[in-house]
Each structure stands twice: as structure tokens, then as C-alpha cells.
Chains A and B, each alone.
Chain A
Amino acid sequence: MDLHLRHAAPTDQERAAVDALLGPPTSSWLGGTRGDVARDTHVAHGGRETREQRHLLLPALEALQARVGWISETGLEYVCTRLGVPPADAWGVATFYALLSTTPRAPRVLHVCDDVACRCKGAAELIEQLERKVGPAHSHGPHGDHVEIDPHSAVWMRSPCLGLCDQAPAAFLQQAGDARHERLVGELTVERAVTLLQEPPPAFVPHSDMPKQLVYSMEHRRPFFMQDDSPLMTETSTLRLPQDDNDAPQHRGLLDRIGIVDPTDIAAYRNTGGFDALRRAIELGPDAVIREVIDSKLMGRGGAAFPTGRKWDAVAKQSAHPHYLICNADESEPGTFKDRVLLDGDPFAIVESMAIAGFATGCERGFLYIRGEYPLGASRVQHAIDEARKHGFLGGNILGRGIRFDIEIRRGAGAYICGEETAIFNSIEGFRGEPRNKPPFPVQAGLFGLPTVVNNVETLANIPAIVLNGGQAFARIGTEESTGTKLFCLSGNVERPGVYEVEFGKTVRDLLDMAGGVTNGRKLQAMLLGGAAGVFIGPNDLDIPLTFEGARAAKATLGSGVLVAFDEAVDMKQILLRIASFFRDESCGQCVPCRVGTVRQEEALYRIASGKTIGGVSGEIALLDEVGLAMKDSSICGLGQTAYAAIESAIHRVGLLNGKSEIHI
């Protein structure tokens, strides 16, 4: 293949951004200056070696976005030259991700969440005010290369759930340029939004520069910072454990270190038992570790509830090599924010867990794929990886035992679908994040076509305890089929939103009570279980046990552990419409039932909400049912298959659209 390029030179900024990631070009064939490199004269560069770097395409596009604020034609071409990717192909990738802009855009962007949990906290009203005060949301800029952009300009856009639902309304601030800055902002007010748009954010503070004594207070898990304008404030504002309001900090499990142990200090991690499990795992050997995980009956926490031990065993037994490990930190299911708390608050534990998983399943390379909206988590985990490597817990000779394993971080760029276990492969490999057809399954042919373990962050976070205390001890916690503890994400109209860790066996009501019940003593209208891909339940369904088997029996799902409460004042039609709009936006577009079905579904709900139905509300519901069944039966992946689940339950289980009497189990 010859690359067809227009050979317009990248700007200095663009070249610098890409070279910072890929290193300077080694040849004029790869975008270097002709004559600089003597060996160019008789050798052609490129080919396979270059193309094998394709997995750096998304990081390179992100580098351009972060430095320039958008991806121009010359910038894209330069990336294509360096990586041997055809420009049309790279264009297809660049236009797949919501956090990348392929038209000129202001360097500062405030992504304001208008998803379901934030709507319970006034996000829709906030956005209306924002529209009045600063004008409409940015849609897309004029086409054309290097349109002059005011370096101080700012725009805002709507965003799906940002994983900060406990601090709703939430926003994500992106500042491109030399003073690159990214952060999540909680408890957004319109005044604060206007300030964020007007004032350049403080420069990014690397961990090493953080004054430690300010960061951690041993007595209180929170708040770490009091001053709202402290540049470090937001560094920790993402962590909040309201469970401590109920109980004194006590042994719980996954949340043990959160807010107590400095997440940037490897010594502090080791002083609290860190890396003991890795040492123990190496003593036990891979087979024994897998046996413990099987004995623990640990089920995946990412949504599909697949037994982790069986997955590991299947990969370990594959003869094709190398094997790969992926820690799925894409966490984009609306209402989910538990993985963020683990990534921000206990990053060494994720690194250690990945090292154990990699060791047990015969991987030498692991990827942590984290959603682009979690910059703090990404930098904390990167720091933890670097520290772990320095101390011999990662790298070519782990603990002096000749074991190899290392981790690379890949940041997503705004695509829920990339959390799907096969879409994540395509995204990492530098292709559009489109799910693959199964079979073959990831354990047989996953990342780069090789056997791959994909596990959720929370799933992996359980591993050290299993290795240290044994699988059977773990299996004794919780219920017969749901072992261990589970993180639940309480948000919406509850008194104390946040992540709650409980042993399996509690009911929805228990969790709702722990979170202080419905805000202001209002009546509960409905709850969303398991996220946008989950189900709604009514106020009479609160005794559903939050176990895999209990949820299954009640025709519900735990999904990723989401519990969003909606009080009687919430306009549920708007909530259903938002969910439909989410699926329409997040469908990859590959298969017809999902690509068109999510549009037809949103249209029907929109007609219901605007009172312009085809065939009355019952006609629209019949239409929704038919479209929903086809999506469920014939879509390629879980997104399309569950795109109607929540809406169907809202209509037929809770009776939210037509006042039908509630059916409960």
C-alpha cells in the first residue's frame, strides 16, 4: 500500500505534539527533513515495522487534540506518515470519538453532563441558564485548515454521564495547548461554569509537586482540600465516601485504603500490605492462583457477571502466544462511578492486581484502558506503574524471579462502546471502536488476534484479597452465588450519593437507606438498576436482593452496580428520552438494528413527549416493543441488545408512560 498524502507540512505545534509521543522521525520517509538522515539515500523506510505501530494511532490523535485543540488535515497527515496509516482510515478513527474534534474548536471546552443522575440535580435547568448566559452549545466549527482560533476562547458542549454522578451536576474541563489541563468538576453551578469558561485553568500539577501533608489526613477520609480555588482542590474532589458518615471508617475491603493511604506513595501502599499478594501469587504459581480465583467464585463486576476464574483458566490454557491482559476502566455506563474511586484512590492496588492476573494467565503485557474523562485516574495509575517498575513489581524481572509483565495505559476519547470487550481491542489497536463478531471469543482471539483476558477494574481489585486469604475465605463472604463485597453507585435524588461497599445480600432498600433515603423526604418514583443498559423498578420493588441470582430472579440486573433514585418530581419522560438519546449517540453504527433502531426508539419517545404520536401512546409503545425486540435479538453487541431494556421496563414494569398499574415480583 502506498500512502496517498497531500504533503502539506504540519505546524511546529503539531509536529511537536506527535514527536513527543513517537520520538523524532528516523527518516525523511517518515516525515523527517530530507538530508538529515544519511541512511535515507539507499533505504526505504516504512512497511511492516511502521504499520505495527498502529496501536499508537489513538494516543497520537489525542496528543494532537491536547496540544492544538483539534485535529487538522496537516496534523492528521503527519500522524499517518509516522504510523503508515492511510489518511481516510485515520479519518474514520478520528471521527469516531466524541472528545476529538476534526473541525477547528476553541482550546477550552467545558463538557456539561446532562445525563440521568445529573438531571435529578438540576442539570437541565443549569444548561438552560448556560444557554441564556453564554449562548448555545458548540456544535462544529467551520471546515478548513488552520482557521484562526482565539487561544483564550472557550465553548461548552453537552455530555453523557461523566462518572461523577455522586457530585452532580458534573462537568469535564479540557484545556488544550501548552498549559494543557483536564479535570472533572463536581457540583457545578452556572456561575462556576461561566468562570471556568472565562478564566484559564491553573496549570497541571504533577504528583511529585503535590504538597503531601495537605493531601492526606489520616483521621478523615474527606475532605482533603477545603479551599475551592486551590489548584489541587479538584485533584481530590473526585473522592468522597459518604459511607463514612454512617460508620466509622472500618474494614470493608475494596475501599480500605481509599482516602486514608496516599495513592501516590508506594511506601504507604506497601506499609498497608501492598504487593504482599503479588509476592504470594508468585510463590503459589499460576495454576494455584487460578484455582484460588475459581474457588472464590468471583464474578465479573463489569456488567456481564462472567466467572473470572473460568476466564483466566481459558486464557492460561491457550497455546497461542503472547497472551494479553486488559483492565477495562472505560466506565461509561450512565450512573457508574465506582471504578473512578478505585483508580483515583488506590491505583497501586490496580497495578498489583493486574500484575497478578498477568502472571496467572501467562501475559507479559497488559493494557489499562481508561475513559478519557478520567485524567486524574490516568495520571495516578501511570505514576503507580512507574513507581512499581522502579521497585521491581513490574518490568522484566519482577521481584527478582525473572517474571516479565508490564502495563501500558490507553486513554479512551469519548465512546461508551469502547468498554465493550471486543470494541476495546479495536480501539487499542488503532481502529474504530466497533465491536467484533463473536465467536471467536476474546479468550481465543482478542487483542491483536491473540488470547486475551478482559476484566473490569473492580473485578481485578478483588484479586489481592483472594490470593492472600484464599478463594474459599472469599467465597464465604456474601451469598452462595454472589461472593465477596460489591461496590454500589448511589446517585440521583438520594441524601448522600456515593459509592457504598457492602457484602452481597443487601436489598435495594438497604442501600437506599444507607444513602439516607430520598432527598428532602420526597416520595420515590422509580429507581434505575444497572445503568442505561439496566432496568427501572418501582417503589414496590425495593426488596429485590442485590445479588446476581436475586436480580436475575426478579428479572432485573446488577449491571455495573448502579442505583439511581428518581423522586416524584422528576419528569420521567425526559429521563427515558435521555436514555434513548444516549444509545443513539453511542451506537457505533455498525449494525442496522442498533444504528437505525436507536433512532426510531428515540423518535417514538420524542413523539410521546411532544404529544404528536403516531397511533396514540399505545401505538408508539407497540412500535417501541417491535423495534426493541429486533434490537435485542439481532444486534451484534450488548449495546444494541440492551438499548431497549431500561425503556421497556419503564413502560411495562413501572408503567411510567401510561399510568399502567405497576407490575412487581
Chain B
Amino acid sequence: MSLTIDGRKVSVREGTTILAACREIGIEIPTLCFLETLHPINACRICVVEVEGGRVLVPSCSRAAEEGMVVHTQSSRVKHSRKLVLEMLASSVDLSTTPQVAEWIEEYEAKPERFGPPAPPAAPGTRDASVPGHHAPPNPEFAATVAEPAKIDNDLYVRDYAKCILCYKCVEACGPDHQNTFAIAVAGRGFDAHISTEFAVPLPESACVYCGNCIAVCPTGALMATTEYEKRAAGTWDESRMTTTDTICPYCGVGCTLRLHVDDGVIVKATSPLENSITQGNLCIKGRFGWRFVQNRDAVPGGNGAGNGDGR
């Protein structure tokens, strides 16, 4: 079937999304909540495009291309919505670890500060205890934010929801799309909606199995392995210095592809490539976190030989 995008004729297979059609001809469209390996939830709306004849803009990441569609990816309406989405997110969420967003903010001339200075972080647990259908009156001095202290309740990963754009990816990865564990869900409503375990219990009390597949899909760094979180806090996280090595997880017969991120000879993170047909980016707790023994510098001399003392 064929459609027109920004004046160019494109032929695609039936079922192709507008986003995929754009990418085929090299048109870049920003995305946040979209990921090839997950069901499109089309919630962030940064990928909207204008389809002629439509009343409203459409999310390109999920709308299938149709025969004869005429699409504009850079109309003034499109640019306006993308700019506002960026301003709304950047004024309410800490996007400091969201890749690419700074470029987009510049490209779309977004000015998040025009809503007023960002409100300071809420006390721990305040957002968890929000009541649907009710909220405190606005504070005229500040623009409301989702800022709150990071949740650090286990050794393996940190949940810093001040950075959460509510893209639903972690919920999909933990639930129906990958892990089938359903340890987290979106709770609350409206601006107070947030990712939560049941009754906001700490992770160790929840159904979480620490596969870290939520971390793998989180686009903002709200979910982060503790190793990375601590290095970032210490100012020693520098991706330009790191190397990656793909290997096979040694633990079980599934044989997941492991990508080890190594900084100065030390493994700082393990992931699996999204495009790997077996894992689709997923691992289990062992593959994701079970490599610390490799570099256990405090190994007991004459112990089980799990570490040679210098991690190399």
C-alpha cells in the first residue's frame, strides 16, 4: 500500500505503522513510550503526526499506515504539540538521564521554565498516598512536579520516580509483554498516577523477582541498577570510557546473550541486546545481577575460587 509522507510517496506492507514508514525513508520522529519489543501504549504523544482529514493528531508509533494517507510530520500543529509535550514533561519530571531529550528540547524550542520554577520534592510516600479525585490547590509560586526521593529498598536496583514519565514500559515488561510477574502497576489517577507495588510495599516484600527487565526498557533512568546509580552519584559514570562485550550467560541452558558493560576492567552493568531474538533484551536475576563474583575483590584466600582478587 502506498501513502504520502511530507510530500514523498512511500510503499509499505499492510500493518506497518506510520513511524516505521517514516523510518524507512529516513524521517526521524522522536519517541519515548515506544519500544519495538512492547505493545504500543501510545501515551507520551511525542511522536504525533498530522494525517490529512483527521480531527486530531495521531500517534505515529501505533497508527497503522493506510492506503492513500497523507501524513505531515513537521506541520505547525505537530511541532506545537511536540514542543508542549516536551515542556510538560521537562517541567514536571527530571529528564537529566533521558537520552536525546536535550536535543529535542532545543530542536522544538521548548521552554519548560515558563510554567514557573519546579516544585521541590514531595515528602517520601506522599505521592503513593494520593487520593484519586482529590488534590491540594496549586501553589502559585511553583509548577507542580513528580519529584520525590528515590526508593532504595534493595541491593540490586533503584527506583527514582522523580525521573518517571509514566511511559508504562516497565509495567508491560514486568507483566503481560515479557516477565508475567505483575509486581508493579500504575496506581493513582491523573497527575498523581505513579508506578507502584501493591500498597506501595518495598520491593523485597512485593512479587518482584529482580529480573531487571523493567530496567532494560525504562527510557529515563528512573529504574537503574544500583551499580550504575552509585557510580552516577559519585560522578564516576562515563559511558565514553566503557567497553561492551557480548557473551553467553553461564548459568543455565537457555543461554541468553549477555552484554557486559565494562569500565576500566570492571563489569558495571549487564544487559542483553534488544534485537536478540531469544532474549529480546530480557534476562533473569542471575544473568542480570549474578556476575559480581567475577570481580569479588574480597574473596577469601583459598576459598571457592570464584574470584581471583582483582576482577580481571
Cα–Cα distance between A595 and B80 once the two chains are bound (Å): 17
The answer, yes or no, to whether A550 is at the interface (CB within 8 Å) is no
Q: Which residue of A lies closest to B197 (CB)?
A: A88
Cα–Cα distance between A588 and B192 once the two chains are bound (Å): 10
The answer, yes or no, to whether A449 is at the interface (CB within 8 Å) is no
A588:B196 contact, CB within 8 angstroms: no
Cα–Cα distance between A418 and B280 once the two chains are bound (Å): 35
A/B pair count, beta carbons within 8 Å: 204
Query: Number of B residues whose C-beta is below 8 Å from A?
Result: 61
The answer, yes or no, to whether B115 is at the interface (CB within 8 Å) is yes
Q: Which residue of B lies closest to A594 (CB)?
A: B190
The answer, yes or no, to whether A632 is at the interface (CB within 8 Å) is yes
Cα–Cα distance between A102 and B188 once the two chains are bound (Å): 11
- Interface flags, B79-101, vs A, CB<8A=1, else 0: 01100110011011000000000
Q: Which residue of B lies closest to A583 (CB)?
A: B190
Known contacts A96-B187, A140-B129, A634-B57; 10 additional CB pairs below 8 A are A86-B182, A88-B183, A414-B133, A589-B186, A589-B190, A589-B192, A596-B89, A630-B81, A633-B57, A634-B84
B134:A139 contact, CB within 8 angstroms: yes
Name the B residues within 8 Å of A595 (CB-CB): 166, 190-191, 193
Name the A residues within 8 Å of B190 (CB-CB): 584-589, 595, 598
- Interface flags, A324-368, vs B, CB<8A=1, else 0: 000000000000000000000000000000000000000000000
The answer, yes or no, to whether B220 is at the interface (CB within 8 Å) is no
Q: Which residue of A lies closest to B185 (CB)?
A: A92
A95, A437, A596, A626: the one within 8 Å of B187 (CB) = A95
The answer, yes or no, to whether A103 is at the interface (CB within 8 Å) is yes
**Are A95 and B189 also in contact (CB < 8 A) when A160-B133, A585-B134 are?**
yes
The answer, yes or no, to whether A603 is at the interface (CB within 8 Å) is yes
| Chain A min CB distance to B228 (Å) | 25
B80:A593 contact, CB within 8 angstroms: no
| Chain B min CB distance to A620 (Å) | 11
- Interface flags, B129-168, vs A, CB<8A=1, else 0: 1111111011011011000000000000000000001100
B198:A76 contact, CB within 8 angstroms: yes
The 8 closest A-B pairs by CB, nearest first: A98-B133, A4-B207, A589-B193, A86-B182, A92-B185, A630-B84, A596-B88, A87-B198
Which positions in B face A, CB cutoff 8 Å?
40, 42-46, 48, 56-57, 59, 62, 77, 80-81, 84-85, 88-89, 91-92, 114-116, 125, 129-135, 137-138, 140-141, 143-144, 165-166, 175, 180-193, 196-199, 205-207
A432, A607, A635: the one within 8 Å of B45 (CB) = A635
Name the A residues within 8 Å of B89 (CB-CB): 592, 596
Cα–Cα distance between A614 and B113 once the two chains are bound (Å): 11
B40, B56, B132, B143: the one within 8 Å of A96 (CB) = B132
Cα–Cα distance between A455 and B22 once the two chains are bound (Å): 38
| Chain A min CB distance to B269 (Å) | 26
**Are A592 and B44 also in contact (CB < 8 A) when A86-B182, A598-B191 are?**
yes
Name the A residues within 8 Å of B189 (CB-CB): 95-96, 415, 585-589
B188:A95 contact, CB within 8 angstroms: yes
The answer, yes or no, to whether A599 is at the interface (CB within 8 Å) is yes
Q: Which residue of A lies closest to B176 (CB)?
A: A1
Q: Which residue of B lies closest to A139 (CB)?
A: B131
| Chain A min CB distance to B232 (Å) | 25
Name the A residues within 8 Å of B125 (CB-CB): 143
Q: Which residue of A lies closest to B146 (CB)?
A: A596
For B114, B125, B132, which residue has the most chain A Cβ atoms within 10 angstroms?
B132
- Interface flags, A1-17, vs B, CB<8A=1, else 0: 10110100000000000
The answer, yes or no, to whether A629 is at the interface (CB within 8 Å) is yes
Q: Which residue of B lies closest to A91 (CB)?
A: B198
The answer, yes or no, to whether A232 is at the interface (CB within 8 Å) is no
Near B by CB (< 8 A), chain A positions 603-633 give 603, 606-607, 610, 612, 614, 623, 626-627, 629-630, 632-633
Cα–Cα distance between A627 and B88 once the two chains are bound (Å): 9
| Chain B min CB distance to A437 (Å) | 5
The answer, yes or no, to whether A178 is at the interface (CB within 8 Å) is no
B43:A591 contact, CB within 8 angstroms: yes
A88:B132 contact, CB within 8 angstroms: no
For A4, A73, A88, A596, which residue has the most chain B Cβ atoms within 10 angstroms?
A88
Cα–Cα distance between A87 and B48 once the two chains are bound (Å): 34
| Chain B min CB distance to A348 (Å) | 33
- Pick 13 A–B contacts, CB within 8 A, sort by A: A86-B181, A88-B196, A95-B132, A585-B133, A587-B189, A587-B191, A590-B43, A592-B46, A593-B85, A603-B138, A610-B140, A614-B115, A627-B88
| Chain A min CB distance to B229 (Å) | 23
Name the B residues within 8 Å of A3 (CB-CB): 207
Query: Size band of the A side of the interface?
Result: 35 or more
Name the B residues within 8 Å of A163 (CB-CB): none
B182:A1 contact, CB within 8 angstroms: yes
The answer, yes or no, to whether A158 is at the interface (CB within 8 Å) is yes
| Chain A min CB distance to B209 (Å) | 9
| Chain A min CB distance to B293 (Å) | 27
Q: Which residue of B lies closest to A142 (CB)?
A: B129
The answer, yes or no, to whether A452 is at the interface (CB within 8 Å) is no
| Chain A min CB distance to B173 (Å) | 14
A596:B191 contact, CB within 8 angstroms: yes
Cα–Cα distance between A581 and B85 once the two chains are bound (Å): 20
B191:A599 contact, CB within 8 angstroms: yes
The answer, yes or no, to whether A597 is at the interface (CB within 8 Å) is yes
B84, B184, B199: the one within 8 Å of A626 (CB) = B84
Cα–Cα distance between A606 and B85 once the two chains are bound (Å): 21
Name the A residues within 8 Å of B134 (CB-CB): 98, 139, 157-158, 585
For A4, A140, A610, which residue has the most chain B Cβ atoms within 10 angstroms?
A4
Name the A residues within 8 Å of B48 (CB-CB): 633-634
Cα–Cα distance between A314 and B85 once the two chains are bound (Å): 36
Near B by CB (< 8 A), chain A positions 71-100 give 73, 76, 86-92, 95-98
Name the A residues within 8 Å of B184 (CB-CB): 88
- Interface flags, A640-656, vs B, CB<8A=1, else 0: 01000000000000000
A603:B115 contact, CB within 8 angstroms: yes
| Chain A min CB distance to B83 (Å) | 8
A157, A603, A636: the one within 8 Å of B43 (CB) = A636
Name the A residues within 8 Å of B192 (CB-CB): 589
Cα–Cα distance between A603 and B48 once the two chains are bound (Å): 25
A633:B43 contact, CB within 8 angstroms: no
Name the B residues within 8 Å of A597 (CB-CB): 84, 88
The answer, yes or no, to whether A602 is at the interface (CB within 8 Å) is yes
The answer, yes or no, to whether A600 is at the interface (CB within 8 Å) is yes
Cα–Cα distance between A294 and B307 once the two chains are bound (Å): 78
Name the B residues within 8 Å of A629 (CB-CB): 77, 80-81, 84
A600:B132 contact, CB within 8 angstroms: no
